[in-house]
Structure 1
Amino acid sequence: MRYQDFITSDHNVLLGKPIIKGTRLTVELILRKLGEGATYSDLADMYPGLSTEAILAVLQYAADLVANEKDLRVAR
């Protein structure tokens, strides 16, 4: 699966934040909900039409972003 099949960014929609295609659900929202302990089932209940594949695409997208980070330490 390619996350690009599920995630898009358009400057005319939510100021270009990455969203799940066909929705106004941001990648950030899904990641925050998962980080708060929501399960895939919880997310499906909260957001009807949200597929497991879309959630997995969000995780793949986040992993790619983190993989390209150079350093998370704050410069002093």
Structure 2
Amino acid sequence: MQEANECQDSLFLMRWSCGPSKFPWSFTATETMYLLEGKVIVQVDGHEGSFTIGAGDLAVFPKGMKVTWDVLEAVNKHYSLEK
């Protein structure tokens, strides 16, 4: 069992929010996110189709992935970046 201070550098949680909008995004690090609220349609550059993530969903985006975010409902998420 690790002590709390040993775990300190293992995980950094951040919070991000955004109102309805559409914008391109490039992931500069692998990102794991948990949507607390909202709804987003994600289009991965160079691929047909899209997928939707919403409140209660967990998603992982690899470093280097380029997407377009179409935020349909205001988003509030927790996320962490791989070191």
Pairwise TM-score range, normalised by the shorter structure: under 0.3
Structure showing the higher strand proportion among its residues: 2
TM-score by length of 2: 0.21
TM-score by length of 1: 0.22
Structure showing the higher helix proportion among its residues: 1
Q: Greater relative contact order (Cα 8 A, min sep 6): structure 1 or 2?
A: 2
